């Protein structure tokens, strides 16, 4: 097992224009909060709010590509959205191993995304399995 409790991983993700527009095109979510600047401002935001599920796409990359073990599958994910993410936000991602369950080949992580103002924009946990 390549994971130990307390192991920390860091990544940086940018919600670039192509990620935002690519997500809109891919999943066809044109809710006004995500595409209508004046609607979003009327609701008290600084501009259109990025899709929360872009962060789940970043998690997919992290789990599939950044871990020292490629032989993995996701069992479950949780995410809580704490603050709005805006276009071009640079997000510092940090994940910590919180549990290693060798008997069932599973590893649990806690994670958070922070924006450049050091505000937590989202946090949660996920569990992966190591494929036999």
Q: Nearest distance from residue 40's CB to a copy of itself, in Å? A: 10
Q: Nearest distance from residue 51's CB to a copy of itself, in Å? A: 5
- How far is CA 123 from its chain centroid? 8
Q: Strands 120-130 and 8-14: what pairing?
A: unpaired
- How far is CA 110 from its chain centroid? 11
Q: Is 33 in the site for a copy of itself (CB under 8 A)?
A: yes
Q: Is 53 in the site for a copy of itself (CB under 8 A)?
A: yes
Site map 97..126 versus a copy of itself, x via CB under 8 A: ---------------------------x--
Q: Among 3, 15, 48, 51, which residue interacts with a copy of itself (rule: CB under 8 A)? A: 51
Comparing CA positions, the residue from 87, 79, 85, 81 lying closest to residue 21 is 87
Of 19 and 114, nearer to a copy of itself (C-beta) is: 19
- Is-contact 97 107, C-beta < 8 A? yes
Q: Residue 32 in 3-state DSSP?
A: helix
Comparing CA positions, the residue from 74, 70, 73, 91 lying closest to residue 82 is 91
For a copy of itself, the binding residues (CB under 8 A) are 19, 22-23, 25-34, 43, 49, 51-53, 56-61, 63-65, 70, 72-81, 124, 131-132
């Amino acid at each position: 097992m390549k994971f130990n409790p307390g192991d920390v991983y860091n990544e940086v993700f940018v919600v670039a224009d192509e990620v935002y527009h690519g997500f809109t095109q891919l999943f066809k979510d044109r809710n006004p909060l995500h595409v209508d600047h004046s609607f979003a401002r009327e609701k008290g935001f600084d501009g259109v709010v990025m899709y929360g599920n872009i962060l789940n796409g970043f998690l997919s990359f992290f789990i599939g590509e950044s871990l020292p073990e490629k032989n993995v599958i996701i069992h479950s994910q949780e995410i809580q959205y704490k603050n709005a993410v805006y276009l071009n936000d640079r997000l510092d991602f940090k994940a910590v191993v919180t549990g290693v369950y060798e008997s069932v080949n599973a590893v649990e992580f806690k994670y958070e995304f922070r924006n450049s103002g050091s505000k937590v924009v989202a946090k949660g946990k996920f569990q992966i399995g190591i494929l036999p």
